[in-house]
Structure 1
Amino acid sequence: MSTLHALTVIDAPLPYVERLETRPLAQVDLVVIHCTELPDLATAREYGERVLYDSGTGNSGHYYIDRDGTVLRYVPEDRSAHHVRGWNPRAIGIELVNTGRYPHWLDSRHQAMAEPYPDAQVDALVALLNRLAGDLPGLRHVAGHEDLDRDRVPASDDPAVLVQRKLDPGPQFPWDRVLAAVPLPRLPL
């Protein structure tokens, strides 16, 4: 298992990072675990660099962890990244590279998320969560994206069928293993 000392974080700021809203670190009390639902880290980076808002920013997590355990920071903790509706000002977003439902995210026939999370990726996540818990005194909870965004939307293949908009990190995510190794409980909902 990774240790705090073994964790290396590569700073790789997004081009628009200076346009993201600043926030006091004391208000950060939540980490949200996501999966990219994309095939690889390069595609996730391309998606994160897309400008989607009038502010000149886009959707991105703070940290990305590749399947081999490589950890990159796209957005510093003192900036609000756009990763989960309604929770961004108080949350750190961690994206795990995983295909999820890619490329048929909302197709009712493709809602299974079958890719497991490799040990190296989970070990890096645990090390990062422990580091964040030590660095951010207000940090109190961890949640999955699926816990916070429960909206159901019309399926892309059949608008009469509703599917959950966000399912990540999904059924393959080892919640028990992660929660046993970090000082952060899962956010009660």
Structure 2
Amino acid sequence: MPPLTDDTGIERHHLPYVERLGARPVEAVELVVIHCTELPDLATAREYGERLLYSDSGTGNSGHWYIDRDGRVVEYVPATRIAHHVRGRNASSVGIELVNRGRWPHWLDAGHQAMEEAYPEPQIAALLGLLDRLRTALPALACIAGHEDLDTERVPATDDPSVLVARKRDPGPLFPWPRVLASCGLRRVP
């Protein structure tokens, strides 16, 4: 089915397993988590989102909304469903994925931990617009965090297991936290 676009300009292109994700009321959402895809483009992010990783539920990992570099916003999972995007916080949060290479394709190599792709202006403007809409649509939403704030586990590097690297570094050092926090009205949680 082709994506549907609503009056806010957000495309609805739900994942095939979205109805198998746990349901929840919008009042349960207190936190928005900012991610970067750490993939080259939105099409590859879609492929990863469609992968079935949990045989018991027939679902996979995904954020709720994806924002491409040009500012296009696509909803993969509605806020009324619990997406698998961050350990231990899925039931009370929504995830926003920004298309960005991050450490792709050597995510956990010790020598490849720099995140050098900046977030373009159209993408950040779209993020701020989405956050504004979410503050209206999700009455309990009060906090924001980066994936790296919530998942601080260090794991052996794939190229040198004697070195530990961060499992998650997104959205990374080039994400404009001061600008986002100044305009989103949400409190950043450590």
For residues 150 and 69 of structure 2, the distance between their equivalents in structure 1, rounded to whole angstroms, comes to 24
Indicate the residue corresponding to 1:24 in structure 2.
25
Q: 1:175 aligns with which of 174, 177, 180?
A: 177
- Alignment pair present for 1:62 and 2:64: yes
Q: Matched residues, percent identical?
A: 66
Q: CA deviation at 1:170?
A: 0.1
Alignment map for 1:7-156 (pairs within 5 Å): 7-54=8-55, 55-156=57-158
TM-score (structure 1 length as normaliser): 0.95
Q: CA deviation at 1:76?
A: 0.5
For residues 70 and 181 of structure 2, the distance between their equivalents in structure 1, rounded to whole angstroms, comes to 21
For residues 147 and 184 of structure 2, the distance between their equivalents in structure 1, rounded to whole angstroms, comes to 18
For residues 151 and 20 of structure 2, the distance between their equivalents in structure 1, rounded to whole angstroms, comes to 25
Per-residue Cα deviation, 1:1-60 (whole angstroms, up to 9, x for no partner): xxxxx9410000000000000012111000000000000000000000000002100000
Per-residue Cα deviation, 1:72-106 (whole angstroms, up to 9, x for no partner): 00000010000001000000000000000000000
Per-residue Cα deviation, 1:104-153 (whole angstroms, up to 9, x for no partner): 00000000000000000000000000100011110010000000000000
**Structure 1 stretches of 5 or more lacking a match?**
1-5
CA contact (8 A) 1:7 1:128 kept: no
Indicate the residue corresponding to 1:162 in structure 2.
164
Q: 1:124 to 1:7 in 2, by over 3 A?
A: farther
For residues 25 and 164 of structure 1, the distance between their equivalents in structure 2, rounded to whole angstroms, comes to 32
Moved more, 167-176 or 178-187: 178-187
Q: Which runs of 4 or more aligned residues in structure 1 lie more than 4 Å from their structure 2 counterparts after TM superposition?
A: none
Moved more, 106-115 or 173-182: 173-182
Aligned length: 183
SS of the residue 1:48 aligns to: helix
